[in-house]
Amino acid sequence: MPDLDLAATTPACAENGVWLACIDCGHELAPFDTPVYRCPECEGLLEARYESYPTFEGFAGRGVWRYAAALPFEQGVSLPEGDTPLHRVPRLESEMGVRSLRIKHEGMNPTGSFKDRGMTVGVRVAEELGVSRLACASTGNTSAALAAYGGRAGLETLVLLPDGKVAAGKVAQAALHGARILEVDGNFDSCLDIVSDLADRGEAYLLNSLNPFRLEGQKTIGFEILEAFRDEYDRFPDRIVLPVGNAGNTAALYKAFRELVASGALAEEEVPKLTGVQAEGAAPMVEAVEEGWDDTERWDSVETRATAIRIGNPVNAPKAIPGIRETDGTTISVSDTEITDAQRALAEEGIGVEPASAASVAGLRKLRMSGVVGSDEDVVCLTTGHLLKDPDAAAAAGSEPESVPNDTEAVLDHLDG
């Protein structure tokens, strides 16, 4: 596992013991001087580096900011986020035939997705930089989170959405939290191209997961899962299965593990296998991992009912692919029908998720059938967003309402009939 170069001395550009480093050429930059999203030398992705790395003993408090020892600041604009449930699902667990199955339901964050974890940190950094306008491209959930956290911080927010391809609940959130919404006649990847251009021209501070500080907040999903397992079972899960869109979460979880390994809190052989699931109609990461590439090739045309992962050009692939490989994980694609089946199975155990979220469970089901996932494994599936985000998908997957007359006897007849 590539280490975080703990032996390196803190560079002069560090502030608060934090700096940015290019994952390709190692170039180091000051973190809070001026907005920067890619390496000025080679265009590579940037990641946050710290003077010291976290141990479990260093965590205190609640939510995302419990993990301040692994974040660039002590506290940020908070609604509050994190502390999401790690559900037991006895029926699904026995159907899957694994040692244990838990569902980390990120849909229970304040705006209904894990994006809130990234936003609380990203908006704190925006305040440090002194920017006035925040922007993102979004398949929906990032825009909802940005609008809420930006609004809370009193900053202007601008979101670019693929016209007609965003679930109703998400647009409603962005609208009511006060974002200016631009609907682009293109897909998510085109929206990201445009908003990146705007950011490069200094028109707005970019809060997509290309922003390395978003991923710092999202690392806390990994810390929460590992801490919960450590407390409850005195061991760590063998595998974490998650839906993949831009691959930000995959990259963030991998970084959480590397940091714990760097501090000695986690042994290399204890690192969970990162297992990424994509929709068949939008699976460039699956292709790249299967072909042994270090980056994805852009899919120009993508389609899936799981709109949150309808992405053809995952920007964080160069960070996420090593995470899949080095942890001995894998990737798999699933059909929309398999996604809907998994969404229903989760809902039957009381866990309401949007379609993209159910991809994790659909992927696990396939990997168990093929024997890639063993019966002796402790598995955690991440469900990334709440059922109410996409009410149309939920209604389509669920039972049909039946009309009855306005009369008790007639209702009884109907129930008997």
The footprint of ligand PLP on residues 150-179 (CB under 6 A) is none
Asked whether the CA dihedral 301, 305, 311, 317 is positive or negative, the reply is negative
Query: Considering CB distances under 5 to 8 angstroms, the limit depending on partner class, which of ligand PLP, Zn ion, none binds residue 121?
Result: none
Q: Work out what residue 187 binds among Zn ion, ligand PLP, none; the CB cut-off runs from 5 to 8 Å by kind.
A: none
Shortest CB 295 distance to Zn ion, Å: 14
39 binds, among Zn ion, ligand PLP, none (CB under 5 to 8 A by kind): Zn ion
User: By CB under 6 A, how many residues form the interface with ligand PLP?
Assistant: 18
> Cα-atom radius of gyration of the chain, to the nearest Å?
21
287, with CB counted inside 10 A (0-12, 13-18, 19+), is: middle
Whether the CB-CB separation of 70 and 219 falls below 8 Å is answered with yes
Q: What CA dihedral angle connects 270, 314, 122 and 160, to 10 degrees?
A: -150
- Tokens of residue 280, six digits: 């068949």
Q: Is 44 in the site for Zn ion (CB under 5 A)?
A: yes
> What is the β-pairing status of strands 18-22 and 28-29?
antiparallel
Per partner kind, with CB cut-offs from 5 to 8 A, the member of Zn ion, ligand PLP, none near residue 33 is: none
285 touches 244 (CB < 8 A): yes
308 part of the interface to ligand PLP, by CB under 6 A: yes
Cβ proximity to ligand PLP, 204 vs 308, nearer residue: 308
Q: Does 333 bind ligand PLP (CB under 6 A)?
A: no
Q: Kindly state whether residue 220 participates in binding ligand PLP, applying the rule CB under 6 A.
A: no
- Longest distance between any two alpha carbons in the chain, whole Å: 80
41's contact among ligand PLP, Zn ion, none, with CB below 5 to 8 A by partner kind, is Zn ion
Backbone phi and psi for residue 115, each to the nearest 5 degrees, phi listed first: -55, -25
Tell whether residue 41 is a contact of Zn ion (CB under 5 A): yes
Nearer to ligand PLP, 28 or 355 (CB): 355
Q: Does 113 bind ligand PLP (CB under 6 A)?
A: yes
Provide the mask over 386-415, with x wherever binding to Zn ion is found by CB under 5 A and - wherever it is not.
------------------------------
**Binding mask of the shown chain, residues 334 to 363, with x at each position contacting ligand PLP by CB under 6 A:** --------------------x-xx------
Q: Please, is 405 exposed, middle or buried when counting C-beta atoms within 10 Å of its C-beta (0-12, 13-18, 19+)?
A: exposed
Sequence-distant contacts of 30-39: CB under 8 A, at least 24 apart: 31/72, 31/125, 32/125, 32/128, 32/129, 34/129, 35/129, 35/131, 35/199, 35/202, 35/205, 35/206, 37/196, 37/199, 37/206, 37/210, 37/211, 37/212, 38/210
Least Cβ distance, residue 73 to Zn ion (angstroms): 25
246 binds ligand PLP (CB under 6 A): yes
Phi, psi (rounded to 5 degrees) for 134: -105, 145
Per-residue x/- mask for Zn ion, residues 85 to 104, rule CB under 5 A?
--------------------
Contact between 280 and 335 under an 8 Å Cβ cutoff? The reply is yes
In sequence order, the β-bridge partners of residue 386 are: 353
CB 36 to Zn ion: min, Å: 11
Helices (H), 130-210: 141-153, 168-176, 188-200
Report how many residues bind Zn ion under the rule CB under 5 A. Answer: 8
How far apart are CB 72 and Zn ion at their closest, in Å?
20
Residue 25: contacted member of Zn ion, ligand PLP, none (CB under 5 to 8 Å, by partner type): Zn ion
Confirm if 176 and 145 have CB atoms less than 8 A apart. Answer: no
Residue 345 beta carbon to ligand PLP: minimum distance, rounded to whole angstroms: 17
Q: Are 82 and 220 in contact (CB under 8 A)?
A: yes
Q: Which is nearer to Zn ion, 6 or 25 (CB)?
A: 25
Stretch that binds ligand PLP, among 1-9, 148-156, 232-240, 245-253 (CB under 6 A): 245-253
245 binds, among ligand PLP, Zn ion, none (CB under 5 to 8 A by kind): ligand PLP
Phi-psi region of 55 (alpha: psi -120 to 50; beta: other; left: phi over 0): beta
Q: Does residue 133 bind Zn ion (CB under 5 A)?
A: no
- What is the contact surface with Zn ion in residues (CB under 5 A)? 22, 24-25, 27, 39, 41-42, 44
- What is the contact surface with ligand PLP in residues (CB under 6 A)? 113, 115, 141, 209, 243-249, 308-309, 354, 356-357, 384-385
